[in-house]
């Protein structure tokens, strides 16, 4: 057979969506400050060009197969948010009380009044000194830039195109940052505003830090469908250790597309945790790359979706070198008419021998109108590896339920306890105690106030199915 | 892995000879006239031609799928010959005595005796050579119990009502690129009808052989198991060794009506190409069955051949309590690529499916499991259990798992597990220390790895499958 | 207190209890022994109402109430307690949360106010000390990561907290070393009083050295084939169960 083309494999590039055109225009509206513009210009240009060429997500695009971006598609009126300050009530009621360096961003802009002073090593790109400038130059776009172009998320490109400023967290060699860095991202109830967040975390050799990214809405009113696009790049040097927690607890009208990209160098350790509630559109990508031998990561995730929400996690762990380990556990509960997607990929490169990689994904559906799409993928090019994944969709454990009932606990209460426990179990990996306590209380409240996340479904009986 | 093991992966493809049989082969090319020619050759009724043309027109608008984890050069569909028949078939042989002796010899060489007296006990065979069915054994004996087993080209003329009702009912003409192509140009294949309540008295089997150069094989198989009936069916396939790639795009449709059971087993041994990855068959196949109330469809496949495999035998579990099963061994060596798996579409209540997929990769090959389990809102109490295991032999091959699990019913129970392992030096050492040579040791370990699937095969084929693995693995140990 | 009359029950379609009769008065301890597969564990599961254990015929009254008209949790609140042979692990749900919910449910049923968290903690600590469990376990998931012995002690602790009327101990001695056995037995003995009854299901006589029964019943083929006092248990220990079958009882 010759190589002549007949039925072409290359489809005609899809026309840009209205939002794509509008977003590119918004990038042009931004005025880049002369002081640090040179740091961002190539990131912005490359991002814009990639975003312009990208196919707009739809059912036929593998990585957007199940998640609708309808909420953005025809948006031609989105505007940049003006900075404002967080309301006292929001700060008082929604923040996690803990001893930490707290930085509050409102619609993407730092609210200095609500924030602590930035300690050494932490600064906005726009306020970078010489050292910080060097760190930014050496790392910005470099972690995210290693993603296979075929798999690159167009919103990550857009984040680059839109980056006007950003936050740098730089921990110098062998420095242990005692206080957690608590980043609070508040979305206000302004309609159709856009916030673009770029964060760069660089831990030098032997450094150690704890970072919490907490996304919330200042007022829980409907119509607050602002769009937040985030990208956090994390470079972990040899022997560096990072606890990274990301909570997406915005109002359900929010549109959030976010990504966390991490490179782990030799013997680096990442403990990751993420929890998201669904919203109108919530898509979070994690790209975790083992780049140095002996690196290890554990990564736990939770998604909770109800009402008409959707939530979509795409995770990709690349074992690019030998002798690394990864342990990933994701759990989700989906109720009402909500939809959840979990796409977890493990990629073992050629010669990445002695890899240990495990992934587990368990789901509870609490309604017959809810949907779950899970796709645990393995791509393996080395033979001396131990890899396994498992995925389940089921109901509450009948034996556990009976145990609770036999102690006099009501069925409704027992189901709430078990549904809560199904998620709460993962919280044990959180090492910052006030964070864990707060989140457990939040979770308990979520389960007791609304039964949509409590599984009332009884498993089918075994009888009658065999013909 | 030891060098000793490396040296074990080399044996010739035993079915790689070409038979010198005079053939009428249509010049390469594909347009509506090609479709008309094929239909005319088969003396098909007008409605069948229209059905084909509809498929052809749809195909022209379709694009070749690119989502599979396989890479091959663009196929030029106009450079393929879409019809080739042995000359001796021009006037169909009335008995085996009229069949070209060279052809009979070909099948004997492949271990498929066509003379009924010499045939495998209890197995009826339909033999498809390039584009035509050359002989179907035991037709009359089966007819006595009402079982129809004949070339599909005969069925189109003789049982038009069954064909009109069921052909395309499971795999519609426009289902996918290759199914559309097949629907337009399919040449022959087998047709099976098992009447109500009948347990087919023997195994049915079809043997496919591509012989001519530059021909594609596009067979189509339709099996209808009427209410309460049982049938077990096996297909096998081989092709000569050639440097060119050849296309095989088949469609298999299974219809299991209420309480019926169909067991469909495949031993696929198309020419896989040589050690450098030259030549071999592109095996792009659509297989699907519909299971009605309380019916059971079971696919078992042992895939060792083909340069590229793209194949997902599937079950639509339409009726309440219906059962779908998929047991697969896919072995790739040298530069072979396989992207294979299944789809289990749960529509009925209390439907059950089981998937056991074993992938073995050696040399520089890649083997991928791709599967879909979909639980529709109507499938109250549905259950699926999936197990995907990969075994890697050597450090230059790939093993991949792409399972899609879609659930829209909260009472479903789905469990999916996947593991990856290798033939470890420890295992080899143990076997060798007990006196086994490395080749034997590897084949034993691989056979053990595949046991769950082999036990689903009819007895005589299970033995064959084991041997086939051994041959396919030759030179893979290293 | 408990009257079991001609009880026939099935598990997964198979008849396990074949017309069992048993009557227990307040304050009595009844041991039930028998070979494997005799239906010993089935009895506890049927009495507590576990799904999959289907009553075919017969009736059971507990303090004048028809037990089979009550749901699992209602039976528990009435004071029927089963100490599980294999207590289940429930990660993510803390022991404390679980125990408080159980105690609150029982107290509510008895018309008592809920315990304050402080009072509950105090009570829970006391009980955990009685069964030699480190109170730190209260924060962990239910039975999560417990050894076999710890699980059994947790069962006894729950029994102490809930103060049931009828305690069914399902092979609570299995998998216990002698020290743990004594702890468990001491817990049970401390709870014996004139109003509380026990069914002690066991395969071995050993437990009955520590918890001395008023009656010993032998269960075989789903029925009680012999009843005696603690001497019967010793006889069984010496002779096995075979002789009963040979006698054709």
Residue A95 C-beta-side C-alpha neighbours within 13 Å: 23
* B364 at A interface, C-beta within 8 A: no
**Which residue in this structure is represented by tokens 């990508």?**
A285
Q: How far A54 CA lies from chain B's nearest CA (Å)?
A: 18
Query: CA-CA distance, A32 to C162, in Å (whole number)?
Result: 69
pLDDT one-digit tens code per residue, A277-304: 999 999 999 999 999 999 999 999 999 9
Q: For residues A305 and A332, is the Cβ–Cβ distance under 8 A? A: yes
Chain B residue with CA closest to A453: the answer is B410
Query: CA-CA distance, A54 to A284, in Å (whole number)?
Result: 18
Number of A/B CB contacts below 8 angstroms equals: 183
End-to-end CA distance of chain C: 28
Greatest mean pLDDT among A171-185, B210-224, B296-310:
A171-185
Judged against a pLDDT cut of 80, whether residue A150 lies above it is answered with no
- Beta carbons within 10 angstroms of residue C203's beta carbon: 17
pLDDT one-digit tens code per residue, A75-118: 888 999 887 888 888 888 899 999 999 999 999 999 999 999 99
Angle at which helix B32-41 crosses helix B177-185, to 10 degrees, equals 50
* B401 at A interface, C-beta within 8 A: yes
- Beta pairing class for B413-422 and A356-365: unpaired
φ, ψ for residue C155 (rounded to 5)? -60, -45
Average pLDDT over all residues of chain B: 85
Q: In chain B, pLDDT over 90 holds for what percent of residues?
A: 51
The SS3 of residue A36 is: coil
pLDDT one-digit tens code per residue, A345-372: 999 999 999 999 999 999 999 998 999 9
Residue A401 lies in a domain: no
Kindly indicate the confidence band of residue B9, based on its pLDDT and cuts at 50, 70 and 90: very low
pLDDT of residue B194: 97
Give the predicted TM-score (pTM) of the model.
0.89
pLDDT of residue B97: 64
Query: CA-CA distance, B296 to B256, in Å (whole number)?
Result: 7
Angle at which helix A411-427 crosses helix A433-449, to 10 degrees, equals 150
- For B12, residues 6+ apart whose C-beta sits below 8 A from its C-beta are none
Residue A430 lies in a domain: no
> Cα A122 vs. chain centroid, distance in angstroms?
22
pLDDT of residue A151: 78
Least CB-CB distance to C77: which of A400, A408, A414? A408
Q: For residues B10 and B478, is the Cβ–Cβ distance under 8 A? A: no
Dig out the tokens for B465 from the structure.
């499958």
Dig out the tokens for A177 from the structure.
């940052």
pLDDT of residue B123: 65
Chain A residue with CA closest to B296: the answer is A467
Dig out the tokens for A114 from the structure.
């609500």
Tell me the sheet residues that pair with C41: none
Least CB-CB distance to A11: which of B63, B375, B399? B63
pLDDT of residue B477: 60
Q: Report the pLDDT averaged over residues A239-263.
A: 96
- Beta carbons within 10 angstroms of residue C37's beta carbon: 12
Judged by CB atoms closer than 8 Å, whether chains meet at A403 and C84 is answered as yes
Which regions in chain C score pLDDT beneath 70? 244-249
End-to-end CA distance of chain B: 5
Query: CA-CA distance, C128 to C113, in Å (whole number)?
Result: 22
Return the higher-pLDDT residue of B190 and A13. Answer: B190
Q: For residues B377 and B389, is the Cβ–Cβ distance under 8 A? A: no
User: Considering only A344-358, B71-85, B274-288, B441-455, which range has the smallest mean pLDDT?
Assistant: B441-455
Residue A249 C-beta-side C-alpha neighbours within 13 Å: 20
Query: CA-CA distance, A288 to A266, in Å (whole number)?
Result: 14
Tell me the sheet residues that pair with C20: C7
- Beta carbons within 10 angstroms of residue A451's beta carbon: 16
pLDDT one-digit tens code per residue, B63-72: 998 889 999 9
pLDDT of residue B310: 93
Q: For residues B177 and B59, is the Cβ–Cβ distance under 8 A? A: yes
Q: For residues B60 and B78, is the Cβ–Cβ distance under 8 A? A: no
Residue A266 lies in a domain: yes
Judged against a pLDDT cut of 60, whether residue A10 lies above it is answered with no
Range of the domain at A130: 14-394
Dig out the tokens for B232 from the structure.
């077990």
Query: What single string gives the DSSP state of each residue in B28-44?
Result: S--SHHHHHHHHHHTT-
Residue A5 lies in a domain: no
The SS3 of residue B218 is: coil
Q: For residues A426 and A329, is the Cβ–Cβ distance under 8 A? A: yes
Judged against a pLDDT cut of 60, whether residue A401 lies above it is answered with yes
φ, ψ for residue C4 (rounded to 5)? -105, 125
Judged against a pLDDT cut of 70, whether residue A12 lies above it is answered with no
pLDDT of residue B425: 74
Q: For residues A163 and A198, is the Cβ–Cβ distance under 8 A? A: yes
pLDDT of residue A207: 98
Return the higher-pLDDT residue of B307 and B461. Answer: B307
Q: For residues A107 and A195, is the Cβ–Cβ distance under 8 A? A: yes
Chain A residue with CA closest to B370: the answer is A377
Query: CA-CA distance, A420 to A151, in Å (whole number)?
Result: 35
Query: CA-CA distance, B169 to B161, in Å (whole number)?
Result: 13
Question: Nearest CA to A135 among A205, A203, A183, A198?
Answer: A203
List CB contacts (< 8 A) between C158 and chain A: 407
Chain C residue with CA closest to A427: the answer is C92
Tell me the sheet residues that pair with A324: none
φ, ψ for residue B368 (rounded to 5)? -125, 135
The SS3 of residue C167 is: strand
Judged against a pLDDT cut of 80, whether residue B209 lies above it is answered with no
Return the higher-pLDDT residue of A272 and C128. Answer: A272
Kindly indicate the confidence band of residue B318, based on its pLDDT and cuts at 50, 70 and 90: very high
Q: How far A395 CA lies from chain B's nearest CA (Å)?
A: 7
Angle at which helix C148-162 crosses helix C178-191, to 10 degrees, equals 10
Q: Report the pLDDT averaged over residues A146-158.
A: 86
Q: Report the pLDDT averaged over residues B432-456.
A: 80
pLDDT of residue B138: 80
Question: Nearest CA to B410 among B439, B380, B437, B435?
Answer: B380
List CB contacts (< 8 A) between A393 and chain B: 375, 405, 407, 412-414
Q: For residues A96 and A438, is the Cβ–Cβ distance under 8 A? A: yes
- For A152, residues 6+ apart whose C-beta sits below 8 A from its C-beta are A50
Query: CA-CA distance, B388 to B400, in Å (whole number)?
Result: 10
Residue A187 lies in a domain: yes
Neighbours of chain A (3+ CB pairs under 8 A): B, C
Q: Report the pLDDT averaged over residues B267-273.
A: 85
Residue A53 lies in a domain: yes
Cα distances (angstroms) measured from residue C132 to each of A223, A302, B57: 57, 36, 80
Q: For residues A352 and A382, is the Cβ–Cβ distance under 8 A? A: yes
Q: In chain A, pLDDT over 70 holds for what percent of residues?
A: 94
* B88 at A interface, C-beta within 8 A: no
Return the higher-pLDDT residue of B12 and A371. Answer: A371
List CB contacts (< 8 A) between B66 and chain A: 9
Dig out the tokens for C236 from the structure.
């069984």
pLDDT of residue B3: 39
Judged against a pLDDT cut of 90, whether residue B13 lies above it is answered with no
Least CB-CB distance to A7: which of B64, B410, B412? B64
Q: For residues B263 and B301, is the Cβ–Cβ distance under 8 A? A: no
The SS3 of residue C237 is: helix
Map A340-363 to HEC letters: EEEEEEEEECCCCCCCEEEEEEEE
Dig out the tokens for A78 from the structure.
């989105």
Chain B residue with CA closest to A464: the answer is B321
Q: Report the pLDDT averaged over residues A139-162.
A: 88
pLDDT of residue B375: 97
Angle at which helix C117-130 crosses helix C95-109, to 10 degrees, equals 110
Residue in B68, B420, B428 to test binding to A, most A beta-carbons within 10 Å? B420
Residue A467 lies in a domain: no
> Cα C55 vs. chain centroid, distance in angstroms?
19
The SS3 of residue A259 is: strand
Q: How far A461 CA lies from chain C's nearest CA (Å)?
A: 10
Return the higher-pLDDT residue of B301 and B86. Answer: B301
End-to-end CA distance of chain A: 48
* Conformational region of residue B471, where left means phi above 0, alpha means psi within -120 to 50, and beta covers everything else: alpha
Residue A433 lies in a domain: no
Question: Nearest CA to C198 among C184, C213, C183?
Answer: C213
Return the higher-pLDDT residue of A465 and B416. Answer: B416
Q: Report the pLDDT averaged over residues B436-460.
A: 80
A176 CB-contact burial (10 Å; exposed 0-12 / middle 13-18 / buried 19+):
exposed
pLDDT of residue B457: 79
The SS3 of residue B425 is: helix
Kindly indicate the confidence band of residue B106, based on its pLDDT and cuts at 50, 70 and 90: low
pLDDT one-digit tens code per residue, B390-415: 999 888 999 999 999 999 999 999 99
Least CB-CB distance to A1: which of B75, B408, B409? B75
Q: For the stretch B68-95, what's the b/e string if a residue is b when 16 or more beta carbons lie within 10 angstroms of its beta carbon?
A: bbbeeeebbbebbbbbbbbebbeeebee
List CB contacts (< 8 A) between B377 and chain A: 368-369
State how many domains chain A has: 1
pLDDT of residue A117: 96
Judged against a pLDDT cut of 80, whether residue B81 lies above it is answered with yes
Query: CA-CA distance, B239 to B209, in Å (whole number)?
Result: 6
Report chain C's C-alpha Rg in angstroms. Answer: 18
User: Considering only A83-87, A452-456, B146-150, which range has the smallest mean pLDDT?
Assistant: A83-87
């Amino acid at each position: 057979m010759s190589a002549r083309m007949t039925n072409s494999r290359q489809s005609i590039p899809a026309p840009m969506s209205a939002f794509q055109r509008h977003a590119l225009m918004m990038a042009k509206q931004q005025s880049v400050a002369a002081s640090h513009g040179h740091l961002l210009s190539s990131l912005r240009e490359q991002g814009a060009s990639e975003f312009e060429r990208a196919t707009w997500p739809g059912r036929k695009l593998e990585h957007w197969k199940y998640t609708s971006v309808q909420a953005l598609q025809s948006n031609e009126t989105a505007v940049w948010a003006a900075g404002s300050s967080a309301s006292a009530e929001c700060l008082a009621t929604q923040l996690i009380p803990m001893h930490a360096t707290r930085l509050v961003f409102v619609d993407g802009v730092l609210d200095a009044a609500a924030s602590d002073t930035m300690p050494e090593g932490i600064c906005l790109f726009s306020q970078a000194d010489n050292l910080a400038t060097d760190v930014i130059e050496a790392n910005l776009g470099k972690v995210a830039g290693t993603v296979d172009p075929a798999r690159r998320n167009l919103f990550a490109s857009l984040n680059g195109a839109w980056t006007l400023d950003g936050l740098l967290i730089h921990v110098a060699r062998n420095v242990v940052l005692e206080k957690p860095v608590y980043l609070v991202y508040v979305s206000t109830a302004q309609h159709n505003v856009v916030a673009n967040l770029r964060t760069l975390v660089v831990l030098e050799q032997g450094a150690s830090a704890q970072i919490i990214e907490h996304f919330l809405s200042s007022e829980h009113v409907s119509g607050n469908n602002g769009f937040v696009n985030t990208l956090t790049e994390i470079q972990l040097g040899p022997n560096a250790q990072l606890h990274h927690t990301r909570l997406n607890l915005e109002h359900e009208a929010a549109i959030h597309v976010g990504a966390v990209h991490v490179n782990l160098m030799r013997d680096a350790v990442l403990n990751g945790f993420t929890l998201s509630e669904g919203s109108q559109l919530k898509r979070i990508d994690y790209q975790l790359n083992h780049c140095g031998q002996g690196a290890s990561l554990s990564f736990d995730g939770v998604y909770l979706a109800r009402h008409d929400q959707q939530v979509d996690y795409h995770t990709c762990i690349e074992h690019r070198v030998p002798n690394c380990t990864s342990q990933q556990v994701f759990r989700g509960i989906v109720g009402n008419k909500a939809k959840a997607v979990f796409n977890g990929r493990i990629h073992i490169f050629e010669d990445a021998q002695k890899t240990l990689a495990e992934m587990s994904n368990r789901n509870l559906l609490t309604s017959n109108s809810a949907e779950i799409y899970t796709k645990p993928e393995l791509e393996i090019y080395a033979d001396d590896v131990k890899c396994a994944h498992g995925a389940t969709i089921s109901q509450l454990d009948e034996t556990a339920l009976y145990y609770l009932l036999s102690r006099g606990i009501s069925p409704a209460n027992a189901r709430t306890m078990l549904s809560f426990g199904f998620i709460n179990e993962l919280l044990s990996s959180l090492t910052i105690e006030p964070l864990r306590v707060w989140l457990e209380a939040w979770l308990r409240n979520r389960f007791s106030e609304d039964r949509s996340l409590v599984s009332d479904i009884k498993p089918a009986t075994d009888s009658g199915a065999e013909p | 892995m030891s060098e000793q093991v490396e040296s074990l992966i080399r044996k010739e493809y035993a079915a790689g000879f070409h038979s010198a049989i005079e053939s009428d082969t249509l010049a390469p090319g594909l347009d509506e006239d090609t479709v008309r020619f094929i239909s005319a050759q088969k003396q098909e009724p007008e409605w069948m031609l229209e059905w084909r043309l509809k498929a052809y027109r749809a195909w022209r608008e379709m694009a070749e799928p690119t989502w599979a984890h396989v890479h091959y050069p663009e196929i030029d569909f106009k450079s393929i010959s879409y019809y080739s028949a042995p000359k001796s078939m021009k006037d169909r042989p009335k008995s085996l005595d009229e069949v070209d002796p060279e052809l009979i010899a070909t099948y004997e060489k492949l271990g498929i005796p066509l003379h009924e007296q010499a045939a495998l006990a209890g197995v009826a065979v339909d033999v498809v050579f390039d584009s035509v069915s050359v002989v179907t054994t035991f037709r009359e004996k089966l007819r006595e119990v009402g079982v129809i087993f004949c070339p599909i080209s005969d069925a189109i003329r003789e049982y038009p009502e069954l064909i009109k009702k069921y052909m395309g009912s499971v795999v519609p003409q426009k289902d996918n690129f290759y199914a559309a192509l097949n629907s337009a140009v399919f040449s022959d294949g087998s047709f099976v009808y098992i009447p109500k309540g009948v347990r087919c008295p023997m195994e049915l089997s079809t043997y496919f052989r591509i012989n001519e150069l530059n021909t594609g094989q596009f067979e189509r198989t339709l099996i209808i198991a009427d209410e309460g009936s049982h049938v077990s069916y096996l297909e096998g396939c081989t092709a000569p060794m050639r440097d060119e790639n050849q296309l095989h795009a088949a469609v298999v449709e299974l219809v299991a009506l209420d309480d019926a059971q169909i067991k469909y087993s495949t031993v696929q041994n198309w020419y896989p190409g040589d050690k450098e990855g030259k030549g071999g068959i592109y095996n792009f196949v659509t297989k699907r069955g519909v299971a009605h109330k309380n019916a059971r469809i079971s696919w078992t496949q042992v895939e060792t051949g083909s340069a590229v495999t793209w194949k997902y035998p599937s079950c639509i579990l339409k009726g309440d309590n219906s059962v779908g099963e998929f047991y697969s061994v896919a072995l790739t060596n040298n530069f072979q690529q396989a992207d294979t798996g299944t789809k289990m579409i749960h529509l009925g209540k209390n439907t059950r499916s089981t998937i056991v997929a074993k992938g073995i990769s050696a040399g520089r090959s890649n083997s991928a499991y791709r599967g879909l389990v979909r639980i529709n809102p109507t499938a109250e109490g549905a259950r699926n259990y999936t197990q995907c295991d990969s075994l890697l032999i050597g450090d230059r091959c790939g093993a991949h798992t792409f399972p899609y699990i879609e659930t829209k019913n909260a009472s479903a129970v789905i469990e999916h597990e996947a593991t990856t392992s290798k033939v470890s030096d420890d295992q080899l050492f143990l076997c060798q220390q007990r006196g086994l040579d490395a080749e034997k040791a590897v084949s034993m370990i691989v056979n053990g790895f595949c046991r769950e699937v082999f036990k689903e095969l009819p007895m005589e084929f299970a033995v064959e499958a084991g041997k086939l693995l051994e041959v396919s693995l030759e030179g893979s140990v290293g | 207190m408990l009257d079991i009359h001609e009880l026939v029950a099935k598990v997964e379609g198979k008849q396990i209890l074949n017309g069992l009769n048993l009557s227990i008065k307040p304050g009595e301890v009844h041991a039930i022994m028998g070979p494997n597969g005799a239906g010993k564990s089935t009895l506890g599961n049927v009495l507590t109402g576990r799904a999959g254990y289907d009553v075919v015929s017969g009736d059971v009254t507990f303090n004048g109430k028809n037990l089979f008209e009550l749901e699992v949790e209602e039976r528990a609140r009435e004071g029927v307690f089963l100490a599980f042979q294999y207590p289940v692990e429930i990660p993510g749900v803390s022991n404390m949360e679980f125990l408080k919910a159980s105690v609150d449910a029982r107290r509510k049923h008895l018309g008592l106010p809920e315990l304050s968290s402080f009072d509950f903690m105090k009570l829970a600590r006391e009980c955990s000390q009685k069964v030699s469990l480190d109170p730190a376990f209260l924060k962990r998931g239910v039975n999560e990561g417990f050894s076999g012995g710890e699980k059994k002690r947790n069962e006894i602790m729950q029994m102490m907290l809930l103060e049931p009327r009828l305690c069914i101990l399902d092979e609570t001695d299995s998998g216990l070393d002698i020290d743990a056995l004594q702890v468990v037995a001491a817990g049970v003995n401390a709870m014996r009083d004139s109003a509380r009854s026990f069914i002690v299901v066991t395969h071995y006589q050993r437990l009955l050295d520590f918890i001395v029964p008023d009656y010993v019943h032998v269960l075989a083929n789903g029925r009680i084939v012999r009843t005696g006092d603690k001497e019967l248990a010793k006889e069984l220990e010496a002779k096995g169960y075979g002789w009963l079958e040979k006698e054709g009882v």
